[in-house]
Amino acid sequence: MNAQILAQLSRADPVLAGLIRAVGPVKADPPEDCHPFQVLSRAIAHQQLNGTAANTILRRLVESCGQGAFPTPQMVLDAPVATLRAAGFSFAKVAALKDLATHTIAQVVPEAAELLQLSDEQIITRLTQVRGIGRWTVEMLLMFQLRRPDVLPVDDFGVRAGFRAAYGLARLPHPKALALWGERWKPYRSTAAWYLWRALELKRAGTLPAPAERIRLPRVKKRRRAAAKAARRPARRTKTPRARRAPKATARNNSRARRRRASKAGLRRGYR
């Protein structure tokens, strides 16, 4: 890791500076070739599963659909649902995998050469059109496959929990507040996120340094509870105002009305 990057982050944030000193330089594996269809297929397989189970499913996918190599998008589209289910994919993951293959053939999911030419937000916009692929999944691709330097996955639990530990907070930071705080880490927010993940490791080992200063996160404007409830409540039907009713007749008025009706009835009988 470039010492200039660590120096800039340390100047921008004293708490992060203490974490950098405690952890040392970034240790990262060399980047692998990025094949978007394969990377996202693996991401779908790993959802809600541990690494061993997900790798077993992927191995079966290679054996059953790819004949020993990672299957192409067309092979996945042609594969019967029963074959993918037998490999271990749930119905939801089968649908996501086939949708990924469809979007890859349609070039919504680009090839690696084109992907490298797109900005971070362009990549997020395009890849999140695939069923089952969310922003977090694409952010991991940006950070670890494409090595983009300025990605801050504010919805990642590990990043939020690491921030809480490193900065001595009582609760997890709100993603929007974390994003606002992270503005000071630009354009190296990916490195800052890496150190926040390491903060949890130091905490478990009991070697996490105390924060150099107490901070107050930017306040995130929240809707009032009443407004939130009103937004969730179905709209009420507007009642059409009724014509003003005449006051109810009293007992005396009722008696008079009966006499008038009897009188009119007698008159009608007399006219016959």
How would you write the chain as a 3-class SS string?
A: CCHHHHHHHHHHCHHHHHHHHHHCCCCCCCCCCCCHHHHHHHHHHHCCCCHHHHHHHHHHHHHHCCCCCCCCHHHHHHCCHHHHHHHCCCHHHHHHHHHHHHHHHCCCCCCHHHHCCCCHHHHHHHHCCCCCCCHHHHHHHHHHHCCCCCCCCCCCHHHHHHHHHHHCCCCCCCHHHHHHHHHHHCCCHHHHHHHHHHHHHHHHHCCCCCCCCCCCCCCCCCCCHHHHHHHHCCCCCCCCCCCCCCCCCCHHHHHHHHHHHHHHHHHHHHHC
- CA torsion 12-14-19-24 (nearest 10°) is 60
List pLDDT tens digits, range 183-193.
999 999 999 99
What's the confidence (pLDDT) of residue 256? 60
Q: Which of 178, 138, 142 is nearest to 157 (CA)?
A: 178
pTM (2 decimals)? 0.77
The size of the chain, in residues, is 272
Domains of the chain and CATH, by start: 3-29+151-205 (1.10.1670.40), 36-145 (1.10.340.30)
Average pLDDT over residues 163-169: 96
What's the confidence (pLDDT) of residue 28? 76
Would you name the residues annotated as active-site residues?
Answer: 156
Average pLDDT over residues 107-129: 95
pLDDT at 115 over 60: yes
Percent of the chain, pLDDT > 90? 70
What's the confidence (pLDDT) of residue 68? 87
List pLDDT tens digits, range 72-107.
999 999 999 999 999 999 999 999 999 999 999 999
Q: Would you say 34 and 141 are in contact if contact means Cβ atoms under 8 Å apart? A: yes
Average pLDDT over residues 124-152: 95
What's the confidence (pLDDT) of residue 272? 35
What's the confidence (pLDDT) of residue 219? 83
- Give the chain's mean pLDDT: 86
pLDDT at 127 over 60: yes
Our CA angle for 121, 124, 126, nearest 5°, is 110
What's the confidence (pLDDT) of residue 38? 94
pLDDT at 50 over 70: yes
Average pLDDT over residues 119-126: 97
Q: How confident is the model at residue 51 (pLDDT cuts 50, 70, 90)?
A: confident
List pLDDT tens digits, range 220-268.
876 655 455 655 666 555 555 555 554 555 555 666 655 555 444 443 3
